[in-house]
């Protein structure tokens, strides 16, 4: 839940009046930036799509909003774009400033940007998030952070404004590693949950009864208990809104791709992760899943037979 009266007081941490450059004001970045403004930070933002957020002063370029900023936060689509943006903003940032990347990217890109930032006399933290658009708006995200203790300590007050939990996972790249592993589990468990509901339907088992049993038994999971893919069952989820994405299927496909890229790099055997990626790829690219929530795998399984 939001911290409310227990929220961090900026003046207690010497953060009042600090300037933040925020690059990437999309569905996630915009509400995160707006929450920082509401907490009393001065936020200058830039997005190539010219989007902005409430209270954020628009800048003309990534470098422009990074110049003289105490902290720069990026929320970008992939590692290649992160590397390009880093080439632009790192030279513009003042020594001792903090660069926080909240994108979900490959581990090697996070480590490469960390090395460049360190060489320029900057602090760097890779801090991908969990919680989706709803968590970004409500300020209840979880941050998985990699970097030095000093960098994490400086970033923590910002995490406490934008989220409800931040875990320092280790050195640079560790935040991305944690996010990749987490989402590989999420992708596989959502598929299993959707398969189980489709099977229950064909066995004549009522969906509510299925939820009542599984959500309190050994099959319980976040995919079942919190983000149930069956409409009208469990807490409200994208399934109750026509599978309008809270976390789009194509984003899950991206994260599963990152997990398999990482697995290949370190020679890890991840057959379930690989199969989940293949299923989401087919769903997104061949079965109309693009633009739907990743839990829309349920109607996909409902429509298929065993031999389909």
pLDDT of residue 86: 98
Give CA separation, 145 vs 126, 171, 178, 298, 307, in Å: 6, 8, 9, 32, 44
pLDDT of residue 134: 87
What is the average per-residue pLDDT within 241-258?
Answer: 96
- pLDDT tens-digit readout, 43-97: 999 999 999 999 999 999 999 999 999 999 999 999 999 999 999 999 999 999 9
Q: Where residue 3 falls among pLDDT bands split at 50, 70, 90?
A: very low
pLDDT of residue 307: 82
Q: Is residue 228's pLDDT more than 90? A: yes
pLDDT of residue 15: 53
Q: Is residue 2's pLDDT more than 70? A: no
Give pTM, 2 decimals.
0.88
Q: Out of 64-68, 134-138, 229-233, 276-280, which region has the weakest mean confidence (pLDDT)?
A: 134-138
Catalytic annotation on 94?
no
pLDDT of residue 11: 43
Q: Which residue of the set 18, 154, 179, 292 is catalytic?
A: 179
Q: Where residue 132 falls among pLDDT bands split at 50, 70, 90?
A: confident
- pLDDT tens-digit readout, 135-184: 999 999 999 999 999 999 999 999 999 999 999 999 999 999 999 999 99
What is the average per-residue pLDDT within 187-194?
Answer: 98
What is the average per-residue pLDDT within 194-221?
Answer: 98
Mean pLDDT of the chain: 94
């Amino acid at each position: 839940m939001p911290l409310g009266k227990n929220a961090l007081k900026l003046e207690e941490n010497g953060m009042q009046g600090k300037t933040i450059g925020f690059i990437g004001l999309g569905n996630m970045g915009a509400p995160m930036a707006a929450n920082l403004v509401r907490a009393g930070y001065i936020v200058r933002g830039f997005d190539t799509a010219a989007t902005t957020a409430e209270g954020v002063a628009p800048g003309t370029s990534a470098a422009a909003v990074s110049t003289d900023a105490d902290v720069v936060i990026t929320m970008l689509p992939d590692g290649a774009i992160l590397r390009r943006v880093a080439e632009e903003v790192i030279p513009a940032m003042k020594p001792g400033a903090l660069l926080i990347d909240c994108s979900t990217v490959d581990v090697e890109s996070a480590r490469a940007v960390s090395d460049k930032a360190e060489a320029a006399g900057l602090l760097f933290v890779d801090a991908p998030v969990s919680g989706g658009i709803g968590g970004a708006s409500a300020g209840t995200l979880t941050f998985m952070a990699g970097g030095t203790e000093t960098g994490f300590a400086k970033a923590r007050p910002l995490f406490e404004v934008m989220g409800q939990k931040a875990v320092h996972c280790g050195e640079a790249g560790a935040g991305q590693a944690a996010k990749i592993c987490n989402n590989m589990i999420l992708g596989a468990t959502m598929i299993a949950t959707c398969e189980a509901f489709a099977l229950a339907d064909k066995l004549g088992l009522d969906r509510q009864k299925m939820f009542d049993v599984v959500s309190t038994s050994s099959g319980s999971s976040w995919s079942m208990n919190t983000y149930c893919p069956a409409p009208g069952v469990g807490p409200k989820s994208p399934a109750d809104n026509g599978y309008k994405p809270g976390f789009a299927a194509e984003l899950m496909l991206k994260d599963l791709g990152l997990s398999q890229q990482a697995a290949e790099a370190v020679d890890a055997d991840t057959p379930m992760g690989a199969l989940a990626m293949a299923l989401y790829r087919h769903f997104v690219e061949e079965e109309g899943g693009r633009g739907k929530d990743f839990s829309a795998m349920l109607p996909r399984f409902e429509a298929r037979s065993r031999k389909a």
